[in-house]
Amino acid sequence: MEITAQTAEQLRLTAEEFELIKQKLGRTPNFTELCAFSGMWSEHCSYKNSIKWLKTLPRNGGRMLVAAGEENAGLMDMGNGFGVVFKIESHNHPSAIEPFQGAATGVGGIQRDIFTMGARPIASLNSLRFGNLKDKKTQRLLSGVVHGIGHYGNCFGVPTVGGEVYFEDCYHTNPLVNAMSVGIMQANKMVSATAAGTGNPVFFVGSATGKDGIGGASFASANITSDSVEELPAVQVGDPFQEKKLLEACLEVIETGAVIGMQDMGAAGIICSTAEMSAKGGVGMRIDLDKVPTRQKNMKAWELLLSESQERMLVVVERGKEAAVLKVFEKWDLSCSEIGQVTDDGLLKFYMHGTLEAEIPAHELVLGGGAPQYTREYKEPAYFAKIKAFDANSVQDITELKPVAEQLVQIPNIASKRWVYTQYDSMVGAANTSTNAPSDASVVLAKGTGKALAITVDCNSKYVFADPYTGGMIAVAEAARNIVCSGGEPIGVTNCLNFGNPYDPEVYYQFVKAVTGMGDACRTFNTPVTGGNVSFYNQNPEGPVYPTPTIGMVGILDDFNNRMTLDFKAEGDVILLIGKQQNDIGSSEYLHKLKQVEYSPAPYFNLDEELAVQQLVAKLIKDKQVQSAHDISEGGLAITLLESGFNRNLGFCVSAQSNLRKDAYWFGEAQGRVVVSCTAAQADRVMQLAQGAGIEICRLGTVTAGNIEVNGENWGSILGWKEKYDTAIEKLLN
């Protein structure tokens, strides 16, 4: 067939990119070669519209053991000779088309990124966004995604320990499914995704290759439309039991000392793993595609290169040690086939039955090599005018607190996600400590290291929509605050940047400002970005989703006894509010959901004040001065107090300590605030420490045996509130 610019456009390459490919090759590519460029130069693989700004993020320092983006996942020093490996990625488009497999394979893919480096995964988290929960389509997507996550994670045997779920109309067509995995390993045993050693054999291991997932990377780099259902074959199909065997086999084969390099075949399949491993090692590969195990007959070369069939690895083995590798994979009943060799010419040469099907310099395919990098135009979104025009005085303050609180506690963004998390196995491995003792971050024992990990995923996309720069900072700050309130020290970030079409200048403005805000916050908290994922083209027919830069953050607890939970402990304990109160209702759930105000400023945030509050809370926890700590987020102070009482069925007697608007005081979401409880004997000391640090603090009231009283009004038993909170989502689904 004749290869033209029109052929390239059908493969989601531009006419300019087609000319660039011809220039790089010195000739017109054949169809197989063009398919290879299509996959590797897709947004999903090359980050061509984002890499310029990603490079502005803090990418080294702190406890970093490998440079950001250099390996399949980030690796940071835990101490005692151990490292923590973690990463978050999106599987948004596949989940929109086929929610069960889309979500399941997202979980599988992120686990492979962890164990391909030599780490054993010990925890999974997820960040999910859907449309209006009253909508039947949203209910179907939610059910399928949660079932897919639970099925894969439960069968694979890694606990799902935390996450977040939001419901906003803008995610109706395009849900977001972000999956995070965390593993631990001996830091000096990391396996790099690098090919080296001329003549070393290249092995294909794991599941056979089929036609599922072909073009998945390109599919993830385009808008979802009414025709997207036609791309169902681009969605992969997962097998968690096969992945469990692959995990054990990979960790075992590393111990043989025969492995030179290893990489998961994720996005763009064989072409991606061969290109990236070769380019990183400055080598080439000769690959015989007819030696790749297949589960469908007569697959063409381009199909084999682009298939994203799951549970597969590419392994470069030291020549002469093939028998040791084959023995391990045979033991685990997994396919292990030698499909090629490492070469010294930098070229990828793909053969079928002795015929050369494609010849491409590896360097020209990859991010940081020949893949194009663009600087897109951006401009302030027109809707900012509505946000700037917002006047809080136009919203009448409330007269009665209790009815508003009753509505808020049942809003799906605030209510218990019990319906979701009970479908996940959170206890497999017996390392999760948060099931019966909740904390702001999930706390997981890192067995054998003498330490524990505090892990969280966070992003309030409504804040980012209102102010991308401030919202990006808040996402980082809230993640750090959750880890600090759990007794941990934040050490590093992985991010999943979910935005609309980057060719839209207003969308690109959101992206640029959010990344800039994230970078400034990460530098302040000394939490470098270890890597992550960019997901563009998250669009509805009405426009883009909210800009959603999800932050996955890991913290260290050197001493598990330093662990802090969010629940009130005993009747008579004193309740204190740390941080500055503000006359602020901007972008709150109260304003957005109850008052139907879509455009309002992001809530109050000051980075220096936030850092000071977190440093104080960390000191109070370390010095054993508080009994509980829970940060104020969605729903404001009232919801934070209720959530602090639910676990032990304890109530509270509190009153407002300022003359602010009632709605702002109780339901505003100004940042940098934490509710702590302490014994009566500790209260004065805590107040002194805060005042000495120049941080606002006030005494709200006391913990009660179960009754709630606010500003002298009896709100009844905590049990009634807990029932509303726990069952709100289930009632909507039923």
Point out the residues that are catalytic: 44, 91
Number of other CB atoms surrounding residue 474 within 10 Å: 31
Kindly state the helix (H) or strand (E) to which residue 280 belongs, with its residue range.
helix 269-281
How wide is the angle at C-alpha 551 spanned by C-alphas 545 and 554, nearest 5°? 160
49-58 burial, b at 16+ Cβ within 10 Å, e below that, comes to: bbbebbeebb
> Residue 170: which of 598, 545, 497, 498 has the closest Cα?
545
Q: Is 407 exposed, middle or buried (0-12, 13-18, 19+ CB in 10 A)?
A: middle
Q: Which phi-psi region, left, alpha or beta, contains residue 197 (left: φ > 0; alpha: ψ -120 to 50)?
A: left
> Residue 652: which of 614, 727, 602, 708 has the closest Cα?
708
Q: What's the CA gap between 177 and 498, in Å, rounded?
A: 10
Q: Which two tokens stand for residue 315?
A: 């392994």
Q: What's the CA gap between 224 and 500, in Å, rounded?
A: 11
Q: Which two tokens stand for residue 549?
A: 């830069």
CA dist 603 to 272, 488, 662, 669, Å?
A: 42, 25, 16, 6
* Paired strand residues for 160: 124
Q: What's the CA gap between 260 and 342, in Å, rounded?
A: 11
- Return phi, psi of residue 709, to 5°: -135, 125
Q: Do residues 352 and 286 lie in contact, with contact meaning Cβ atoms separated by under 8 Å?
A: no
Q: What's the CA gap between 628 and 644, in Å, rounded?
A: 8
* Residue pointed to by tokens 């086929």: 98
3-state secondary structure of 121: strand
Residue 232 CB partners (closer than 8 Å, separation 6+): 97, 98
* Residue pointed to by tokens 């456009």: 9
3-state secondary structure of 265: coil
Q: Is 66 exposed, middle or buried (0-12, 13-18, 19+ CB in 10 A)?
A: buried
Q: Which two tokens stand for residue 359?
A: 């010849």
Q: Which two tokens stand for residue 586?
A: 């901007």
* Residue pointed to by tokens 């093939």: 322
Q: Do residues 461 and 502 lie in contact, with contact meaning Cβ atoms separated by under 8 Å?
A: no
Q: Do residues 696 and 380 lie in contact, with contact meaning Cβ atoms separated by under 8 Å?
A: no
* Residue pointed to by tokens 């509270």: 652
Q: What's the CA gap between 592 and 598, in Å, rounded?
A: 6
Q: What's the CA gap between 34 and 88, in Å, rounded?
A: 29
Q: What's the CA gap between 566 and 440, in Å, rounded?
A: 6
User: Rounded to an integer, what is the distance from CA 485 to the centroid of its chain?
Assistant: 20
Tell me the CB-side half-sphere exposure of residue 551, using CA atoms within 13 A. 37
Tell me the CB-side half-sphere exposure of residue 241, using CA atoms within 13 A. 1
Q: Is 578 exposed, middle or buried (0-12, 13-18, 19+ CB in 10 A)?
A: buried
> Residue 730: which of 415, 457, 408, 315 has the closest Cα?
415
> Residue 162: which of 375, 388, 443, 406 has the closest Cα?
443
* β pairing state of 651-654 and 707-710: parallel
